[in-house]
Structure 1
Amino acid sequence: MIKMLAIFVLIMMSTLVTAKDAAAIDFVIKFIGNENKPSDLVYGGLCWGKHAELNLVKAAKDKGVRASGSLNTRVAYHEQDIVFLADLDCNGSHEFLYNASSKNLFRFPYRWLVLLNSTNEAKLMYLWRIPLLITSDLVLARRYGDLFELVELHKPAPSGSMITTPRGFFNGSLIDMRPQKELYRRRRNLMGHHLTMANIIQDSNTTKYYLPRDDRLQLHHDAVAKVCWVFAKVAFELLNATPRYIFSYRFGYKVNGQWSGMVRDIGDNKADLGTNCVLFKERLEIITYTDLVAPMRMRFVFRQPPLAYVANIFALPFSTGVWMAVAIASIASTVTLYITSLWEIRIEKNPTQLDGSIGDALLLTMSAVTQQGCFIEPRRTPGRIMEFIFFTALMALYAAYSANIVVLLQAPSNSITSLAQLAASKVTLAANDVDYNRFVFNDDIDPLHVSVHKTIIPDNGKPRFHDIVDGVERIRKGLFAFHSIVEPVYRRIEETFQENEKCDLTEVDYINSLDAFTPVKKDSPYLELLRVSYKHVREVGIQAALNKRYQVPKPRCESKAVAFSSVGLLDLRPVLIMMMYGVALSLAILLAEIIVFKIKEYNCNFH
């Protein structure tokens, strides 16, 4: 009798356990399905028995959900799909939670479902020790028979208290009580927790005073840092966070194998985010990038050299076809004048008329082409008509040529569009005397960058670093390229350049980088909140308003009216070279004439 009673109790207990497992499995599958997104179930430390685990895997498979009992089966490219399952009623769950915590698996975008029987409240202390920070998506399901009550757990800060938020309940069907499914919308209240921003000071220590005041004074100095700070404060207000700030004097570069400046402050948790910085691959060891706030482009800024510096402007006014037409007309004029001169000398001879030689005809033609006078000329009507037509045609041509030369003498060349062309030009290269340029030009990428580096920082000689005032003034004078963040350069240009001097401004990139983005520590619990907040502030137009208020874009060429411009010897280089060739040729002809004269004189004396 006792034996039969024991068997009956075992059968009843087995039935109760099976019913319990079936309800739990049904709840887990419906919980995952309620998210309506691809999911991979990872469970560990369950004490449900092999049969119950197989039923869980089979039920998940029927719903298109892959299931695994190992933490090592995760795929990094599908982290957002993973749902972890733990049961605090099982002793093995403690080790499972500990291993997950050591691997930082309670962060975004992993999802967690933790089961707990309502009669086992003491085991909640395991969850209170876990770093469930602001973006952790963990749901605690407390079981009361077949009823599951769902609660979300998170802390607004590592040292903050645990916050519980009702999620819903399950009693055969799942009731979701979340006002929004997006985690950001439910967690964007940091309850006054402090967020610290590292602000870069490169130009002046006055930034320490003016940046916290947001008074838009001294915008010549560190305008990018000031825009980023105001933008961050707006984002902090969206998150109900208290803004704090620190100052760094360097963006962040490796010095003797150690990070320095802002990147180090972020890595050491002294700051949660920083001023926009350029995307360098090695910085990804410490930080990740969120969003563009203020354009921060490092470029060589210079005025295009005059056209006369890079081309022979005296050959540019006419196309090749026009020059060929002038040559053909000159030949025709020479031949015609030669024929008419042969006819004229048969009728009469005069000291001022053509003597019937091809040389005199060519001399008269060249005089017409160069708009010069000639003491010999035709004496009869046919020759004079030919001379008149040729001089008249060339006079109109000469007027057009002269007008084009005047314009071309003051025209920019637009010949420098790349770093290679800039390095090969006669333009002087220099850089702004700030910290980042010392590191940028030490990063030798290829022979071209090495040559630019050696030009600005020679091995033997004084480095070519100038302050912003001196550098912009040298840009205005021309043939000078200044490497800097372009915003302070353009602000100074707007104040000092004349309108016509802005028309030939050009940028050339040295580091070949994208725009700068806001750095945040890679494993920061606030990364996703800041990323979404920044995008929201940008989409509503605040970013555009701040940039217009704090920054100066590239100056526009409002008027292309030609102003007075002096002409130097370099502008007349082709003409001077031609004159030198002419002098050399005349001396050669003189020497040849002397030799011929001496030979004739010798022959006469000999005979």
Structure 2
Amino acid sequence: MSYTLRGYYNGTLVDTRAHRALFQRRRDVMGHTLTMSNVIQDSNTTQYHLPLEDRLEPQFDSIAKICWMEVRLAFKILNATPRHIFSHRWGYKQNGQWSGMINDLHTGKADLGTNCLVSDKERLDVVTYTDMVAPFRVRFVFRQPPLSYVTNIYSLPFSKGVWVAIVVCAVISTAALFVETRWEKTVVRSPSQLDGSVSDAMLLVMSAIGQQGCVLEPRKLSGRVMVFLWFAVLMLLAAAYSANIVVLLQAPSSSIRTLAQLADSGLTLAANDVDYNHFVFSLYKDPVRVKIYKRIDPEKGKGQFYDINEGVERIRQGLFAFHSIVEPVYRRIEKTFQEKEKCDLQEVDLVNGFDPFIPVKKDSPYLELLRVTLKRIRESGIQNCIVRRLQVRRPVCESTSAAFSSVRLRDIRAALLLLPCGLAAALAALIAERVYRHRYF
């Protein structure tokens, strides 16, 4: 036991302590052993590299390594003897029993643990949280789908007013050609001449809109001037339209920004094949998260769980959302993605949790000592230095130049749908003509 004289009584209590703060008087634990439970899930080699603090294999268990470095420094400040144990999960309650790191704290095997999210309210019955040591975020990471995946890009190059103007001009041109060819028919006759019907005038106008020729044409100067002007105007419009289509084919959308939009999207949803992803989805009962959970881990069939390397590669290929701690995902992205592919990355939060904090056993006598020490390490800038060494931030889009990308079938889906629609319209017209001819002729 270590005794400190509080003071003496001389009519009133005279406090003779050098410091009234509990931390200042008790920060020297005189070599007492404090144990930390370290959660590792990426690689067993972390058990070797973590005590050495050699910063090797930073892609594995960076959170555990950062926490150990800072907590070991806190032990030195408190004059404590450091000791560590390892666990392969943060800890969840199953059948009334705790597992993993939370069980180590609850049973007294460890005095504090690795950063964890304050998402499970049941943990508050057995642990207390101190301070944030190694920041991390758990998100869905994906590339925004191409614009052609969520909308009809063939209607986007022109505004609504331009489309209305084109339709009005087409109607006026059809009417003008009809009047001109009706007059022309009374003056001159030719095999390639328009016969003065509305259908022929419309056929010529539609040919001009599609930048195609037509075997029928006016024979007089007035009609040819109208056709020339119409083709010239539409040629300029077609050039602007084509240029915009090329840009839109390469452009990503911004259609998925919320969890509900992600749940309703056609993206493949998956998760990192680690312990917490097999528990965290089942903690929520709201319809959106339940829907996401069923897509990732259906009752029938194989669940969508992948390791970091395969998950990031599928993100690069597109139309794939991967749920994981984002820092190791971004480290892999920095190594495998091209600069252009980093520009459409998007995150969506599932857990909506606070920052992760270091847990200690509830009613631990070292709670105040650890809390103040960790805050001092954070305020001094040491924490920020260690985090920057071992974690990778979100990649920055530094490339604004266009990159080559092959056009896929989904990009021209609207154009392909035009063909069966046209065939159906032609078949309907054929049937109508046959019925009309059978009835009146």
* TM-score interval, smaller chain: over 0.9
Alpha-carbon distance between aligned partners in 2 of 1:350 and 1:335, rounded to the nearest angstrom: 21
Q: Pick from 175, 191, 194 the counterpart of residue 30 of structure 2.
A: 191
The CA deviation at 1:461 is 1.4
Letter in 2 for 1:450: V
1:318-359: CA deviations, max 9, x gaps? 221111111111112222222222333333222223332222
TM value normalised by structure 1:
0.70
- The 5 Å alignment of 1:285-300 reads 285-300=125-140
Q: Which runs of 4+ in 1 moved over 3 A?
A: 166-181, 594-600
Q: Pick from 242, 252, 262 the counterpart of residue 412 of structure 1.
A: 252
Q: Pick from 529, 537, 556 the counterpart of residue 369 of structure 2.
A: 529
The answer as to 2:28 corresponding to 1:206 is no
Alpha-carbon distance between aligned partners in 2 of 1:543 and 1:329, rounded to the nearest angstrom: 68
Alpha-carbon distance between aligned partners in 1 of 2:16 and 2:213, rounded to the nearest angstrom: 102
Q: Pick from 323, 342, 345 the counterpart of residue 163 of structure 2.
A: 323
User: Is contact 1:444-1:453 (8 Å) kept?
Assistant: no
1:425-457: CA deviations, max 9, x gaps? 211112111111111233341233222222222
| Alpha-carbon RMSD | 1.8
The answer as to 2:323 corresponding to 1:502 is no
Q: Which residue of 1 aligns with 2:108?
A: 269
Alpha-carbon distance between aligned partners in 1 of 2:137 and 2:328, rounded to the nearest angstrom: 11
Q: Which runs of 5+ in 1 are unaligned?
A: 1-161
Alpha-carbon distance between aligned partners in 1 of 2:377 and 2:222, rounded to the nearest angstrom: 85
The answer as to 2:384 corresponding to 1:544 is yes
Q: Which residue of 2 aligns with 1:366?
A: 206
Alpha-carbon distance between aligned partners in 2 of 1:182 and 1:387, rounded to the nearest angstrom: 93
Q: Pick from 561, 570, 573 the counterpart of residue 413 of structure 2.
A: 573
The CA deviation at 1:510 is 2.2
- The 5 Å alignment of 1:142-541 reads 162-171=1-10, 176-279=15-118, 280-541=120-381
The CA deviation at 1:550 is 0.4
1:550-606: CA deviations, max 9, x gaps? 011121211132211111211111111111100111122223333444455xx4xxx
Alpha-carbon distance between aligned partners in 2 of 1:262 and 1:516, rounded to the nearest angstrom: 14
The CA deviation at 1:299 is 1.7
TM value normalised by structure 2:
0.95
Alpha-carbon distance between aligned partners in 2 of 1:580 and 1:239, rounded to the nearest angstrom: 77
The CA deviation at 1:389 is 2.3
The CA deviation at 1:207 is 0.5
SS at the partner of 1:441? helix
Bigger CA drift: 348-357 or 276-285? 348-357
Q: Which residue of 2 aligns with 1:72?
A: none
1:145-167: CA deviations, max 9, x gaps? xxxxxxxxxxxxxxxxx223344
Alpha-carbon distance between aligned partners in 1 of 2:326 and 2:104, rounded to the nearest angstrom: 26
Alpha-carbon distance between aligned partners in 1 of 2:68 and 2:163, rounded to the nearest angstrom: 62
The CA deviation at 1:224 is 0.6
The CA deviation at 1:379 is 2.8
Letter in 2 for 1:592: A
Alpha-carbon distance between aligned partners in 1 of 2:105 and 2:13, rounded to the nearest angstrom: 42
Count of residues paired in the alignment: 440
User: Is contact 1:274-1:518 (8 Å) kept?
Assistant: yes
Structure 1 vs Structure 2: percent identity of aligned residues? 60
Q: Which runs of 5+ in 2 are unaligned?
A: none
User: Is contact 1:294-1:547 (8 Å) kept?
Assistant: yes
Alpha-carbon distance between aligned partners in 2 of 1:536 and 1:329, rounded to the nearest angstrom: 74
Letter in 2 for 1:261: G
The answer as to 2:434 corresponding to 1:594 is yes
SS at the partner of 1:347? coil
Bigger CA drift: 369-378 or 173-182? 173-182
Alpha-carbon distance between aligned partners in 1 of 2:124 and 2:410, rounded to the nearest angstrom: 49
Bigger CA drift: 297-306 or 336-345? 336-345
1:15-68: CA deviations, max 9, x gaps? xxxxxxxxxxxxxxxxxxxxxxxxxxxxxxxxxxxxxxxxxxxxxxxxxxxxxx
Alpha-carbon distance between aligned partners in 2 of 1:220 and 1:271, rounded to the nearest angstrom: 26
Alpha-carbon distance between aligned partners in 2 of 1:261 and 1:183, rounded to the nearest angstrom: 32
Bigger CA drift: 549-558 or 345-354? 345-354
Letter in 1 for 2:116: C
SS at the partner of 1:571? helix
The CA deviation at 1:248 is 0.7
The CA deviation at 1:175 is 5.0
Alpha-carbon distance between aligned partners in 2 of 1:325 and 1:179, rounded to the nearest angstrom: 86
The CA deviation at 1:312 is 0.8
The CA deviation at 1:185 is 2.4
1:230-268: CA deviations, max 9, x gaps? 111222222222221110111010121101110010111
Which has the greater radius of gyration?
A: 1
1:500-558: CA deviations, max 9, x gaps? 11111122222232221111112011111111111111111111111110011121211
Q: Which residue of 2 aligns with 1:111?
A: none
Letter in 2 for 1:487: E
Alpha-carbon distance between aligned partners in 2 of 1:173 and 1:596, rounded to the nearest angstrom: 117
Q: Per chain length, whose mean CA-contact separation is higher, i.e. which structure has more relative contact order (CA < 8 Å, sep 6+)?
A: 2
The CA deviation at 1:400 is 1.4
SS at the partner of 2:411? coil
Letter in 1 for 2:72: K
Bigger CA drift: 291-300 or 320-329? 291-300
Alpha-carbon distance between aligned partners in 1 of 2:296 and 2:15, rounded to the nearest angstrom: 65
